[in-house]
Amino acid sequence: MKGLLAKLEKELRLRNSSKETIKGYVYSVKKFLKYSEGRGLNKKVLENYIIHFLKSQNPSSVAKDCFAIKFFFRNVLHENINLPVIKRNKVLPEILTIGEIRNLVENTSNIKHRLAIKLLYGAGLRVSEIVNLKRNDLNFEEGLIHIKLAKGKKDRFVKIPDSIKEELENFIKIGDGKYLLESNRGGKLTVSTIQAILKNSAKRAEIKKRVYPHLLRHSFATHLLEQGTDLRIIQKLLGHSDIKTTQIYTQISQASIKNIKSPLDSF
């Protein structure tokens, strides 16, 4: 198994895949290899693997695993496998209201933790972008944050929210580390730390919804759309390659539905 996973990692590195992509692919393939022990590595085993995990896992997770496994078959085992497209559940995330975001911030006393929440929501950043953000990535003169080599190995710029500009400048003055948000022991905060910060703040704020880093990004995009921001601008801010990815927020937003007048109200 180790030899096959090493070959997989090499193939991914040759394509200059990100650390996150390599980690995800290796995890998915390792899970499949454990299942296939004593069964063989072929299409029939993969089909049984899919059926087995579809009983207990989210179809989106199984589809993600299959994408990695097909890459493994094609580039490591040099075998092409055709599989039917797994139909995914079209579940929309339950975003936070502006009031809930405010409540979340107000129930976070630690300055560093509060800034993390404000940046996740206020700039629509991914949690991986937050933890990798360096002090010199912030240009206060231009009011911009330079997000470097984000998902898809792409750079982009996002606006520093005016409401936290001064707070960020003062925060940077009191430290001298490499990263904007560093742990007390030095070095950048971890993704799991940010997740725990949000979970604890949501508990104190008595928010019943499941609060996680990407939910703040979803909320940022949805609220921008409801304010009338052009979808193409939101696409650029989020760093989406395809406008179709951004269009999900037209489904999440309920503003257009709320503004409809029911024919019943004409009575």
- Residue 110 makes CB contacts below 8 A (sequence gap 6+) with 197
Catalytic residue among 13, 74, 214, 232: 214
* 249 has catalytic annotation: yes
214 classed as catalytic:
yes
User: Out of 113, 114, 126, 218, which one is annotated catalytic?
Assistant: 126
Contact (CB, 8 A) for 73 and 11: no
Q: Is the dihedral of CA 121, 125, 126, 132 positive or negative?
A: negative
Catalytic residue among 217, 223, 244, 258: 217
The question of whether 217 is a catalytic residue gets the answer yes
151, 156, 159, 236: the active-site residue:
151
CB atoms within 10 A of CB 6: 12
> Where does 2-151 have alpha helices with state H?
2-14, 19-36, 43-54, 59-75, 98-106, 111-122, 127-131
Asked if 243 and 232 touch (Cβ cutoff 8 Å), the reply is yes
Decide if 39 is catalytic.
no
8 A C-beta contact, residue 103 and residue 196 = no
The residues carrying an active-site annotation are 126, 151, 214, 217, 240, 249
